[in-house]
Amino acid sequence: MEQIVENLRIRLLTPEDKERVHTFFRRLGEEGTHFFNRNCGNEKVAYAFLRGELPNHIFWAAVDDTPDGEEIAGIVFLWNKNTKIPWLGIGITEKWKGKHLGRRLMTTAKEWAESVHAGGIMLTTDQKNLRGQGLYEHMGYQRLGIHHDGEFLYLLALPNENVK
């Protein structure tokens, strides 16, 4: 049975999602764990967000309604959402890769950033994350160079007449 990404709902992550978030991170697979959750960094941030400790972050989940309840297929977040150029992170479970879910999640973050008149969105990615780089470039992100941590640095510039 083929999963259809259009049937997924994208909604804000809530404290009630703690167990679903735990399951999501277990289902990332080797690639997702290496590129998105190295040393459990994004997982720790997600739990801190769910505890209400990171009010300057925003997380969305792509949720599949299954017979056993909701399952998180992907997560996208913006750090430092109150700045003109917040930082994006995105992860997709192994089961949902290759179905264009990343595009939907990144569009959600972009639309939110546009709605608050952000000047752009930044992200970094491992130089070996070819799948991610293809997605980011397809979504209009420009590679600026190499971040001080050795990852590629990308920027999506958003048209905003309020940015000075």
What pLDDT was estimated at residue 5?
76
The per-residue pLDDT for 161 is 62
Residue with tokens 């720790």: 44
DSSP 8-state secondary structure symbol assigned to residue 149: T
Q: Which amino acid is at 5?
A: V
Check: CB of residue 73 under 8 Å from CB of residue 101. yes
Residue 121's domain is classified under what CATH number?
A: 3.40.630.30
In a domain, 163, yes or no: no
Give me the domain span that covers residue 23.
5-157
For the residues of 11-33, what is the DSSP string, one character each?
Answer: EE--GGGHHHHHHHHHTSHHHHH
Q: Supply the pLDDT for residue 46.
A: 97
How high is the pLDDT of residue 2?
54
Domain membership flag for residue 162: no
Low-confidence spans in the chain with pLDDT less than 50: 1, 163
Report the run of H or E that residue 46 belongs to, with start and end: helix 41-50
| Residue 164 falls inside a structural domain | no
What pTM did the predictor assign? 0.92
151 located within any domain: yes
- Domains of the chain: total: 1
The per-residue pLDDT for 1 is 43
